[in-house]
Amino acid sequence: MGKLEGRVAIITGAGGGLGSYIALRLAEEGAILMLTDFNSKSLKETAARCEHAGFSVTAKTADLSDPKQIKSLVQDTIGEFHTIDILVNLAIAIRTPHSFLEHELDTLDESYRTGLVSTWLMMKESYPYLKQGGGKIINFGSGAGYYGLEGYAAYAAIKEGIRALSRVVAREWGKDNINVNVINPGALTDGIHAHLDSLPEDQRDPQLLGFMPTAIGRYGEAYKDIAPVVAFLASEDARHITGQTFFVDGGAIINA
């Protein structure tokens, strides 16, 4: 029996490389999954990966910049599973990096709507159900915000906003036995590996994509290094941890 046996989890941004492996890991731990993403193709690929491993999941395509679709997603989850125990907020749109002076307001607005607003509303809509059984919320920050990665002004600002929001909600909802934590991940996903493989050999250094060198001398893997920490924070093993940011980055934070 897994540590999340029978627990109902919503994972937003589940179509991405990181989201896909988090979904698989939580399914392996016994969680009942509602997966969502804006990209229906990648969402289907995540569902297929879980089903190929022997797990049944529910997947719903949704644009989480739309409050009505967020409400619908939560209500569909309740209609099918009757509760929500775990909320993993990964969703955010990412554009090709460009300098701050080249950033237009629509870039900031897109990151704001798909990242901060979606995280905000997913937490609010899920709150009545999370508090019933002691819920766990895992939000995602980014080294782009913490380190100030060039080219990611909008994305970085929103990711730091999510960290600040998480600390406030952790304080306010602690009395409701809801834990809220943040992961700042450092891992090479399938998409990043594919991109690196497409480059000339002398340009395949992840540092050229903004990855900080790590203290342990290697870059993380989504399934082996990030997903287990999500599973831990989603479990009762982490019941006395809230309002924290976990830098799951191989020591990049101390090697900067």
Take residue 9 and report the two structure tokens written for it: 């989890």
C-alpha–C-alpha distance, residues 117 and 222, integer Å: 25
- Paired residues of 58 in beta bridges: 34
- Token representation of residue 134: 């002691």
**Residue 155 is among the residues annotated as catalytic for this protein:** yes
Which position among 112, 155, 219, 223 bears the catalytic label? 155
Helical axes 17-28 vs 190-197, angle rounded to 10°? 140
Under a CB-based contact definition with an 8 Å cutoff, are residues 119 and 182 in contact? no
Q: In 33-57, which positions are buried (b, 16+ CB within 10 angstroms) versus exposed (e)?
A: bbbbbbeeebbeebbebbeeeebeb
Nearest CA to 19 out of 68, 85, 82, 91 is that of 91
Q: Which amino acid is at 218?
A: R
Angle of CA points 65, 70, 71, to nearest 5°: 140
Query: Active-site residues: which are they?
Result: 155
